[in-house]
Structure 1
Amino acid sequence: QWAQVQDWDPVALSYVPTGQECPRFRADGVLPPGTEVQLGDRAWQVHAAPGHDTHAVVLFEPHARVLISGDALWENGFGVVFPELDGEQAFAEVGATLDLIERLDPLTVIPGHGSVFGDVPAALARARRRLAGFEADPVKHARHAAKVLLKYKLLEWQQAPLAQVHAWLAATPYFGLLHQRHFAQQTASVWAEQLMQELVDAGAARREGGALLNA
């Protein structure tokens, strides 16, 4: 997405579709898969890691066997598979990226979210179970993705009137797309209320008066 960053296209970079804010930044270079990048005194391999994001990469240092995995592998899962939200078939790419990580055989993983971890076989097993669940029930993944996007916005807001939350959901393209594709049997307003309530039930948000608060 070098060109989209240089031209700063917030639609192609997903900020508009997901309703998230990102100040413009500058990119000075790219990390092409199949190359190496020198970080400190070590050469790190660059590997393509599509799934969560079509353009994602992971970095692997083979001597200490350290993997910077981004959102391709967490200790308990992986990032939302955004191409699936656009109607593309990307769960297989998630599986292929997990297979790549298994072949690299890292001792230590630095994930995009959560703590550094070392029991990589157990993490891969959990990720594959999660992937199998999403493949068996894509609607489950769609609901999970919707809640993740709302939670991220709530991290930015910290708190917002319910009317503001409803307005943001209605104006954010991915929510309209997900609602139309998977949840059209409910009104958008009812679906929005369910998403908020599920975040509250999970302890990720709370309601006070007429507002939704981060938790």
Structure 2
Amino acid sequence: MSEALGLPTGVTVFERGWLSSNNILFVGDEGSALVDSGYGSHAGQTVALVQRALGGRTLDELLSTHLHSDHCGGNAALQAAYPGLKTLIPPGHADAVAHWDEDVLTFEATGQRCDRFRFDALLQPGSEHRLGGSAWQVHAAPGHDPHSVILFEPVSRTLISADALWEGGFGVVFPELEGDAAFDEVAATLDVIEKLAPRIVIPGHGPVFEGKARVAAALSRARSRLSSYVQDPKRHAAHAMKVLIKFKLLEWQSISEPDFADWAERTPYFSLVHTRHFAPGDRREWLESLLAELERSQAIGRSGGTIFNV
């Protein structure tokens, strides 16, 4: 939990592990709000963190920067805990949420989980939304997700960057995996962030960071990584699939190799990415190469036919 680094009054950041996005809690005279709710398997922990921080107060609003499962997986649990909770999402997938289309929302495609939730209003890019007594600008941030938004408070120059910018880079560019050009959108979003000139950045994952030099360094790292992906899209595709494997292992902690192979076979993104970026070739050999690379980098371990998180 972070209340340091000159964050605006009433803002608390719950820094989570990489399975769940960071949660940002606002408490002020105008009410309380949470930005992003983490992954479904950690929903109980999210609710407990919010309840402990609020004491006897209610949670009035819930905002999702985008609808990846690690950012909205706790929405349903929070709505159950706070029946009057007003939930806001970016507009791009509003129809998919209303009809709960898990194909469009990519939960099925990525082999992840998210309990069904409702929404009450939209976070429209170009608008402002009051959080903790301050007006936060809503900016479109396509790239990692075509419908993602970021939030910026110009007085304290605080940015909630979601997965558009971390101190070490940015999130997987999912549209590229599906054949939709999006690297230019990542670059444009990084340009938007640079023009906003944030003093404090609250990323979707990892610690809060502040200061002109650290923000500039983060942008430089992100642009360097993006350049390497533009030059070699296959590198990005392989990285993305290793991220999906590692992410799922954070949920499982361990799994037998046959059960992993079965999960990968049933998860559409593996077939899609292999066909688009790596075929021809045996998919099982390709999966083995991904596991071997993760093991060499000490991101996973393997022993006695079991794959485990490290």
- Is residue 211 from structure 1 mapped to residue 303 from structure 2 by the alignment? no
- Is residue 94 from structure 1 mapped to residue 189 from structure 2 by the alignment? no
Count of aligned pairs: 215
Q: TM-score, normalised by structure 1?
A: 0.98
Q: CA deviation at 1:186?
A: 2.7
Which residue of structure 2 lines up, in the alignment, with residue 120 of structure 1? 215
Q: CA deviation at 1:22?
A: 1.1
Residue of 166, 170, 192 corresponding to 1:78: 170
Residue of 236, 245, 248 corresponding to 1:153: 248
Residue 15 of structure 1 aligns to a residue in which SS? coil
Q: CA deviation at 1:182?
A: 1.8
- Is residue 39 from structure 1 mapped to residue 131 from structure 2 by the alignment? yes
Q: CA deviation at 1:20?
A: 0.8
CA distance in 2, matches of 1:75, 1:7: 36
Q: CA deviation at 1:153?
A: 1.0
Gaps of 5+ in 1: none
Greater alpha carbon shift after TM alignment, 95-104 vs 13-22: 13-22
The structure, 1 or 2, with the larger RCO (C-alpha pairs under 8 Å, 6+ apart) is 1
Q: CA deviation at 1:52?
A: 0.2
Identical aligned pairs, as a percentage?
A: 56
Which residue of structure 1 lines up, in the alignment, with residue 100 of structure 2? 8
Q: Of Structure 1 and Structure 2, which has the larger fraction of its residues in helix?
A: 1
- Is residue 191 from structure 1 mapped to residue 295 from structure 2 by the alignment? no
Residue 63 of structure 1 aligns to a residue in which SS? coil
Q: CA deviation at 1:92?
A: 0.1
Residue of 264, 268, 277 corresponding to 1:169: 264
- Is residue 110 from structure 1 mapped to residue 202 from structure 2 by the alignment? yes
Q: TM-score, normalised by structure 2?
A: 0.68
Residue 122 of structure 2 aligns to a residue in which SS? coil
Which residue of structure 1 lines up, in the alignment, with residue 148 of structure 2? 56
Residue of 129, 132, 136 corresponding to 2:224: 129
**Greater than 3 Å deviation, 4+ residue runs:** none
Q: CA deviation at 1:60?
A: 0.1
Residue 209 of structure 2 aligns to a residue in which SS? coil
The alignment's C-alpha RMSD in Å is 0.8
* Residues 73-103 of structure 1 deviation map (CA, whole Å, 9 limit, x = unaligned): 0001100000001100100000000000000
Which residue of structure 1 lines up, in the alignment, with residue 277 of structure 2? 182
Q: CA deviation at 1:185?
A: 3.5
Greater alpha carbon shift after TM alignment, 21-30 vs 158-167: 21-30
CA distance in 2, matches of 1:32, 1:203: 41
Residue 46 of structure 1 aligns to a residue in which SS? strand
Gaps of 5+ in 2: 1-92
